[in-house]
Structure 1
């Protein structure tokens, strides 16, 4: 037997197990329509074999029933187990036919002479048969043009089911995207109840092995966007096949697969697919050409990706920096935050492009950049200043809610934008009634935390805010009222109406027994201290019974102690870790004369008990108590300085991060300029 005849007969035998034996192989696509004559030039990507159901074992048949029922052991919550994995006892999709037999298939007993006659007859009638019988693959773009709803697409499918089923799902998702949210929900409900939907899902399951890989991924994305539960057989089958065929993934498929994985909840199939994606990315990262694909992959692989792969992706991004567009630079902040990888070099380069093209940047993009900087602990004063100046320059186009959100993010980053905050103060003074409770709480929190005060409008601003709160006083929650009064206390302002409402017994009991009680107790202690130490603020003596706060942790500050010992000639001239009333703690206390030229020893009782004595509080402060790259103290530090002054202390701030860099001789000289007034330097750039 020659090779050509052997090849034809081998292919015929492979298919004979799946289809009924006959002189000619009949192809019935999905058993939904029956062709009149034999199908010519059969392509496994464009149709499925007749008798598919007959070739399945009973256990496999069951899997194609109820395709929308949950799979055993797979729910749609985190920590899912794998969907049921099925095996086929025979090959469902036979390998592609050899080139010698691509024109026709014959039965086992065909002779060479018969084959020659068959081929001759087939060639002469090929055009007629092809035009009459070859099913034209459906195009989702054409479906979108012809259909106005999801049900229309399913009606079209039920009349003449055509390969590929992915086109129907893509068409439905395209239509769903262009309608309103309420109408979309209604259309999706109709889609699930449509009689042809289960039939379409069954066809999708059958086609998974022969569908193009990118069509498979597009289908999975559309199916998830249409709200099909993840724990159904169809979705889990698509995930399983996507795992098995992941080696077919090219750069385009990498982008689609990464997009799909972002929408899926963790389960065993999803985790396996994500692991496979990481291996594939590790192998192909240097072959990726499109920046968008690179960023999509980086965003998808997740925070638990091995550091080596994160570093490799960072190096690839740095290598392609010259290809970055403005949108790529803006998007890179969110990408790195999703990957939890703080690449300062990459962030600095992207920041430069964002600063140069800040005008016209959308609100959502600016917010995303600031949120990513917060998550990555990336502080770039030039970038923050550029965004703040742009918002202040275009202040009229933003709502109060949007400006407040900007300021909340700036506060999280420790950055104080005076120009923007002054503009919002002016807006509030002009129209305080436009504020709701949420705006009021947020604005007061930001201004008190950043310790911002305007030279001329500060009093008017505080009065306008108090007036706006009073309007909502009977509808405000106890916790919001406490937050508002607490913020006013930090700014040394005490509106009597609000304070009297807060200190009522029933409200105090509610705050001590519900919500975040630890935080509430801390705020009430601050209020108690303010009402006692800021004497002119409140005329009534108030005693709020509160549980005692735990003592704050003490820090060694050994280097400062050593510096003071060298400077003051002995440890007997200063005291360490001094605990004061109202839960205040100071690192070191020094006792000097009123002119602060002489230091007294703590053993000298007569000198320390006399009137000619000044108590000096030395506070060792970290960088976080100041606004970003400045000496402007934040709210709690400003409050502590004010209250220590009220208790008779002169306060000196020692910046620990500056002292740590100095040698002992330089450190002694540095602290000396802080203690003695003739050589003292200003410690803040604003009046506390």
Structure 2
């Protein structure tokens, strides 16, 4: 027997004691509980004679309903202290109110049911029923009046200070609700407006007294209102280190076990924007424990995502995994908006779930049209944070930007391209279209935009076949206007980007090569590995590239040790298997300008034969001997999903060729995926020319495809 059935029986017993006790044998009844949990008790009365009267709720508000199967039952109405009766012979459905136990029973003074043989109701019983009804009606009217006043008050006030003015005159409703009302007003304001409103709020003479009243009330209000109060206080912008916020945090800590799903959602949204502190950390830890306990009871996907954003990056891995599994179980319910928000949720707790990201990427890519710009930026930012690359998703976003290109500002498209660059994604159509936009609006570019454009196009090694030279001239001209006020570090970055693009304009280089600029860059404050590396690269371009105008202006820099290469054990083993002797290649060959070659071979000019080499004669190659550089590269050296080399690799290949090498790129990830025999075939195809081993080469290429 469930709780509702038990309460109903207690109600009937109470009525029997107070009004007209009856024998237990006079009534036959069957209780049927709704299995779907729709809160509708079905009571089938087997006897045609009811020995007790039943109750109906107040007519003021619809309540829980009970269906009665009535035969021969009379309905009595009180009119002018006279009882009018009406017989019910069909199915009647009437609502009933609160039960006597554990809740108070509410009676309607206008109507009650009796059977044909029911004794008359006593005057005392009727007075008790009418008094109870009037009491309930009073509370209902009072509650509805308070809600109406609350809504009216929010409509009347245009600022948070107006609410305090109303509070100081007369407090019309709960003190905590004032803060909630303040947040409802403030959330539609700009940040500047909020800042001004907060200052006026702090200076208001009633503010301190108001906070005292809120703290007093917070100890007794229900948890839902307490949660919303804390959320409103934080969202308004009241500092976390204030006594008000800290007390509210402690009160929530004490009652956190009472949280239902809504409470968890509100608390998660609050903690998401709060800075770390002892009380915040303790509350976040309590939330983690609560979520770990109730995670499989959560019904709403948005609540799940809000929790993921708030539990923190340092949350235990098992909890992150549980949240991931819970999200995977709900994938069939994901809307496009849910899929969009999942990227930010995973990034917020620093959990890279490739399976979940892949599924959400499919939904986002299929529903990309209409996705707001800020959401696109959030998705790409999360992908960068999680180091997640999805070619289909990025292509869908780029195609969407192209389709709606005219509606985006140049700053917005540049933001998208900046994220694409960090994700190593090169979309030729979008970059060409943006390049045309730059040519048309070059006069409106600011210094920051110019630096971003140079960085993106040089990093991705992107050239436009028709407009490349014009683009370089236009962007250089725009850069020249900022040379007098550009910082030395930004100037170095701009010149380095121009070097990657193989463009050497005189004005930026001359400005950079001034002694005071170089000395400033080499100061301990600015000096780091990145600055030193860029200076060496610029110096290498001045010496090795075709820069006749600037050839005499090389830099005098200290030699620094080259960056150690990654372990290439797999490639070395394949080389030994192929050449059968260590005397036929050199490993980790250091060259001028801080360059390092993984393996060097000596071959004839037709690349058909390999000669023994030694460290002594590395730089004494004869005219008919070809120096071959095997450069082992990772997948990140190329643009995503292509074999198009990025800027640094392209410049290294140019400089190695200038130093007299024939460059061969060896893809590390491909070697690792092949067995030893296939790897030998792969490397043989790479090293020897097609004319040397036509059959082997043809077989190797087909095999790799």
Q: What is the TM-score when the length of structure 1 is the normalising length?
A: 0.78
1:547 is displaced (CA, Å) by 2.7
1:211 is displaced (CA, Å) by 0.8
Secondary structure of the structure 1 residue equivalent to 2:436: helix
1:227 is displaced (CA, Å) by 2.5
User: Which of residues 236, 243, 265 is equivalent to 1:226?
Assistant: 236
User: Which of residues 242, 259, 262 is equivalent to 1:249?
Assistant: 259
User: What is the aligned partner in structure 1 of residue 613 from structure 2?
Assistant: 602
User: What is the aligned partner in structure 1 of residue 4 from structure 2?
Assistant: none
User: What is the aligned partner in structure 2 of residue 481 from structure 1?
Assistant: 491
1:362 is displaced (CA, Å) by 0.7
Residue 276 of structure 2 corresponds to residue 266 of structure 1: yes
Say if 1:494 and 1:538, in contact at 8 Å, map to a contact too: no
User: What is the aligned partner in structure 1 of residue 574 from structure 2?
Assistant: 563
Residue 319 of structure 2 corresponds to residue 306 of structure 1: no
Map Cα deviations across residues 315-347 of structure 1 (whole Å, 9 max, x no partner). 111111121111101111000111111111111
1:429 is displaced (CA, Å) by 2.1
Q: CA RMSD in A?
A: 3.0
Aligned pairs for 1:524-603 (under 5 A) are 524-602=535-613
User: What is the aligned partner in structure 1 of residue 77 from structure 2?
Assistant: none
* Aligned mates of 1:231, 1:551 — CA distance in 2: 49
1:266 is displaced (CA, Å) by 1.7
Say if 2:543 and 2:551, in contact at 8 Å, map to a contact too: no
Residue 408 of structure 2 corresponds to residue 398 of structure 1: yes
* Aligned mates of 1:477, 1:204 — CA distance in 2: 52
Residue 499 of structure 2 corresponds to residue 499 of structure 1: no
User: What is the aligned partner in structure 1 of residue 76 from structure 2?
Assistant: none
Aligned pairs for 1:617-656 (under 5 A) are 617-656=629-668
1:556 is displaced (CA, Å) by 4.1
1:149 is displaced (CA, Å) by 2.3
Residue 425 of structure 2 corresponds to residue 415 of structure 1: yes
Which moves more between the two structures, 212-221 or 153-162? 153-162
**CA, structure 1 residues 313+605, in 2 after alignment: closer, same or farther (shift >3 Å)?**
closer
User: What is the aligned partner in structure 2 of residue 210 from structure 1?
Assistant: 220
* Aligned mates of 2:285, 2:454 — CA distance in 1: 46
1:536 is displaced (CA, Å) by 4.0
**CA, structure 1 residues 607+216, in 2 after alignment: closer, same or farther (shift >3 Å)?**
closer
Q: Which has the higher strand share?
A: 2
Secondary structure of the structure 1 residue equivalent to 2:590: strand
Q: What is the TM-score when the length of structure 2 is the normalising length?
A: 0.76
Secondary structure of the structure 2 residue equivalent to 1:660: helix
* Aligned mates of 1:304, 1:609 — CA distance in 2: 57
Say if 1:482 and 1:523, in contact at 8 Å, map to a contact too: yes
Residue 405 of structure 2 corresponds to residue 378 of structure 1: no
**CA, structure 1 residues 179+384, in 2 after alignment: closer, same or farther (shift >3 Å)?**
closer
Aligned pairs for 1:338-487 (under 5 A) are 338-487=348-497
Secondary structure of the structure 2 residue equivalent to 1:388: helix
**CA, structure 1 residues 563+183, in 2 after alignment: closer, same or farther (shift >3 Å)?**
closer
Q: Whose RCO is larger (CA < 8 A, sep 6+)? A: 1
User: Which of residues 232, 250, 257 is equivalent to 1:240?
Assistant: 250
**CA, structure 1 residues 607+154, in 2 after alignment: closer, same or farther (shift >3 Å)?**
closer
Say if 1:549 and 1:583, in contact at 8 Å, map to a contact too: yes
Secondary structure of the structure 2 residue equivalent to 1:673: helix
1:257 is displaced (CA, Å) by 0.6
1:517 is displaced (CA, Å) by 3.8
1:260 is displaced (CA, Å) by 0.8
**CA, structure 1 residues 140+339, in 2 after alignment: closer, same or farther (shift >3 Å)?**
farther
Which moves more between the two structures, 434-443 or 517-526? 517-526
Map Cα deviations across residues 446-465 of structure 1 (whole Å, 9 max, x no partner). 11111111111111111111
User: What is the aligned partner in structure 2 of residue 295 from structure 1?
Assistant: 305
Secondary structure of the structure 1 residue equivalent to 2:673: coil
**CA, structure 1 residues 516+606, in 2 after alignment: closer, same or farther (shift >3 Å)?**
closer
User: What is the aligned partner in structure 2 of residue 7 from structure 1?
Assistant: none
Say if 1:255 and 1:293, in contact at 8 Å, map to a contact too: yes
Say if 1:221 and 1:260, in contact at 8 Å, map to a contact too: yes
Q: Which runs of 5+ in 1 are unaligned?
A: 1-97, 104-115, 684-688
1:99 is displaced (CA, Å) by 7.3
Aligned pairs for 1:134-173 (under 5 A) are 137=146, 140-173=150-183
Map Cα deviations across residues 101-141 of structure 1 (whole Å, 9 max, x no partner). 999xxxxxxxxxxxx9xx99x9599769969x979646542
Residue 660 of structure 2 corresponds to residue 663 of structure 1: no
* Aligned mates of 2:527, 2:437 — CA distance in 1: 33
1:371 is displaced (CA, Å) by 0.8
Q: Which runs of 5+ in 2 are unaligned?
A: 1-100, 107-123, 701-705
**CA, structure 1 residues 537+290, in 2 after alignment: closer, same or farther (shift >3 Å)?**
farther
